[in-house]
């Protein structure tokens, strides 16, 4: 792959390994790979395992929606900070870092955007940093 273009994109616009779902998640399909004359031995065939992986792919999206809903309901400064961190992390990771690194996703992915740095990792790191800072700030003995 050159840049973020898959080998399969050079010959067809249809992903031979599965179906691209919204928010850059792939539903793998071994039968589709076989219909394109490709080996399916690296694709998962267990429906439960596929479902677990697809649901895991949506964890950051679900988490962001829950945090934004919390902001609308609770309307606290902590919720505002978390929502702001998530939005800034998304913008920085998707619009800046991925365009700098331009690392491709694995060949079996039907997503055509760049894959590295990982959004899952970026959200986890930014939230960990926020919660660590918040915890240290709350535990610091107050002067005066």
Express each pLDDT in 48-96 by its tens digit.
888 998 998 888 888 888 888 988 999 888 888 888 988 899 899 988 9
Retrieve residue 132's tokens: 């660590």
Which residues are CB-contacts of 122 (< 8 A; sequence separation ≥ 6)?
89, 92, 93, 97
Question: 26 pLDDT exceeds 70?
Answer: yes
Q: What pLDDT is stored for residue 73 in this prediction?
A: 92
Give the integer Cα–Cα distance in Å for 104 and 6.
Answer: 8
Express each pLDDT in 106-137 by its tens digit.
888 888 888 888 888 888 889 899 889 888 88
**Whether 40 contacts 13, CB under 8 Å:** no
End-to-end CA distance of the chain, in Å? Answer: 61
Q: What pLDDT is stored for residue 92 in this prediction?
A: 92
Question: 1 pLDDT exceeds 50?
Answer: no
Tally DSSP H helices, then E strands, for the chain.
6, 2
């Amino acid at each position: 792959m050159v840049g973020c273009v898959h080998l399969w994109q050079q010959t067809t616009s249809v992903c031979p390994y599965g179906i691209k779902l919204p928010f850059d998640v792939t539903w793998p399909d071994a039968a589709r790979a076989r219909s394109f004359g490709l080996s399916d031995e690296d694709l998962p065939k267990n429906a439960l395992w596929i479902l677990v992986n697809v649901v895991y792919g949506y964890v950051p999206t679900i988490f962001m929606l829950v945090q934004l809903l919390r902001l609308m309901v609770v309307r606290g400064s902590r919720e505002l900070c978390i929502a702001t961190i998530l939005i800034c992390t998304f913008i920085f990771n998707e619009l800046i870092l991925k365009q700098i690194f331009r690392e491709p996703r694995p060949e079996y992915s039907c997503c055509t955007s760049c894959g590295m740095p990982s959004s899952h990792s970026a959200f986890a790191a930014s939230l960990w940093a926020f919660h660590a800072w918040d915890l240290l700030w709350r535990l610091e003995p107050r002067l005066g």
